Structure 1
Amino acid sequence: MYVLDVSCAHELPITLGRDFAGVVEAEGEGVSEVEVGDERPFATGPGRNSS
């Protein structure tokens, strides 16, 4: 699981965390950590906005 560094201070109110999951549909040149079809979790820390 990959977790982003969120060691900086946050203003209130904040969202206390988010997690996501998905299936790898393609991989870029030089990528060796995942393969197409892999199921991968991902988590962000408090106060991060998704885009």
Structure 2
Amino acid sequence: MRTLVMKQRDLFEESVQETLVPGEIQTELVTQLALLMYGLIDAIEGEVHDEQDQH
């Protein structure tokens, strides 16, 4: 049973290592995601404001 657990852990660690993004690219991705989120929030707030004006 312990051997099986170790093998599963090894497989997990290998799959994580393959999906890691280099630091420089990760920083850029996080920045772009934050900008996208702020843009989305602004768009939603604008839609809410527009909906309230019509009533």
What TM-score does the superposition give when structure 2 sets the normalisation length? Answer: 0.19
Higher relative contact order (CA 8 A, sep 6+): 1
From the two aligned structures, give the one with the greater strand fraction: 1
From the two aligned structures, give the one with the greater helix fraction: 2
